[in-house]
Structure 1
Amino acid sequence: MVREKLKAAQDRQKSYADNRSKDLEFAVRDWVFLKLSPWKDVMRFGKRGKCIGHVVYRLTLPPELSQIHDVFHVSMLRKYVPNPSHVLEQQPMELREDLMYKEQPV
């Protein structure tokens, strides 16, 4: 009886996961969000990737992430859809006579 209930629960979970899963595939020069979890919080970076398999991709990472291996499973990637609101305009910077400036959030 317990085994049957456990099996039924596992089947429901598998069915739910199968229905919700998507086959993701990226092309060279696609931008992706990368989910990095070794740190305290989840960090995301938009990077260009290169396909090296159906479920594994090599990404071009920024220099500050050079200590991280550059190959990631597809489950750690999300497709980036370009949006003009993601581009920040450069604000003019005013320098004081002592060459100091004040940073303000945008």
Structure 2
Amino acid sequence: MTHIVLFHSVYGLRPAVLAQADRLRAAGHRVVTPDLYGEPPTDTVEAGFALFDKIGHDEVLRRGRAALAPLPPETVLAGWSMGAGVAGALLAERPD
């Protein structure tokens, strides 16, 4: 069993991310899907970037760090589009 964190795209936490998490859980993994926005997902990339700008890059990363805090160091970080950027930024901060 692997711990996995899936970070959503700029659109927000959409059903596709949750469905992928369910597939990974069915395979025996422990999966976390943090909502980095705390707001409903958007329908357009423009609205997604507006929401991202409203929340702010630093706050998105803070929320990502908070989601990782209780998880073991070997947790896999993954994401879609913007979420891959969040995963990369947070991965660089992890000691292992």
TM-score by length of 1: 0.20
Structure with greater helix percent: 2
| Larger RCO, structure (CA 8 Å, separation 6 or more) | 2
Structure with greater strand percent: 1
